[in-house]
């Protein structure tokens, strides 16, 4: 059986701030987290992550977003509050995060949890190949890590 709690980071680490989600996962790997938690860097996500989402008790998704808010802003949603699909980034070749969730709910309704938290990190520059993230996003990554730990009720590590 898959571990009860899944934390996934989406993004491309070579596209600057787009890699925010991947880096949150990297940072979380530095902690000794309880055994019931699985951390996954899922790259650009899409249809391929559906199986990963199934049979969990709780899912946390960290992804870069572009909404026009100041770079580094954190956007936090529960499943029922998720905005339209337009909010999230998608691969040109695949479905986006919201569609993936909706598809999982439609095809595997009994196997997908409702306890889903999505953390969007507002990205700055994402149009040039670089592995450097902006200072604002670096701070946001640290904040997102704290937020994830808080969500999991983890205080002592």
- Contact residues for another protein, defined by CB under 8 A: 10-15, 18, 41-48, 50-51, 64, 66, 85-96, 98-99, 102-103, 106-108, 123, 126-130
CB 69, min distance to another protein, A: 13
Nearer Cβ to another protein (98/149) = 98
Nearer Cβ to another protein (20/152) = 20
Tell me how far apart the alpha carbons of residues 49 and 13 are, in angstroms, rounded to a whole number: 18
Cβ atoms of residues 20 and 137 within 8 Å: yes
The 3-state DSSP class for residue 116 equals strand
The 3-state DSSP class for residue 156 equals coil
CB 93, min distance to another protein, A: 4
Q: What tokens does 16 get?
A: 């600057």
Nearer Cβ to another protein (94/143) = 94
CB 92, min distance to another protein, A: 4
Nearer Cβ to another protein (62/152) = 62
CB 157, min distance to another protein, A: 26
Q: Output Rg (C-alpha) for the chain, integer angstroms.
A: 15
Tell me how far apart the alpha carbons of residues 140 and 21 are, in angstroms, rounded to a whole number: 10
Q: What tokens does 92 get?
A: 């040109």
């Amino acid at each position: 059986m898959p571990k009860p709690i899944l934390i996934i980071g989406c993004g491309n680490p070579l596209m600057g701030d787009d890699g925010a989600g991947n880096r949150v996962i990297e940072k979380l790997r530095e902690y000794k987290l309880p055994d019931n938690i699985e951390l996954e860097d899922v790259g650009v996500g899409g249809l391929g992550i559906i199986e990963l989402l199934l049979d969990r008790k709780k899912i946390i998704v960290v992804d870069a977003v572009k909404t026009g808010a100041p770079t580094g802003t954190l956007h936090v949603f529960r499943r029922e509050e998720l905005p339209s699909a337009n909010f999230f980034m998608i691969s040109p070749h695949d479905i986006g995060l919201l569609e993936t969730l909706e598809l999982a709910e439609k095809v595997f309704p009994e196997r997908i949890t409702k306890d889903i938290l999505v953390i969007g990190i507002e990205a700055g520059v994402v149009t040039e190949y670089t592995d450097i993230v902006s200072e604002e996003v670096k701070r946001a990554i640290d904040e997102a890590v704290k937020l994830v730990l808080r969500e999991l009720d983890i205080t002592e590590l």
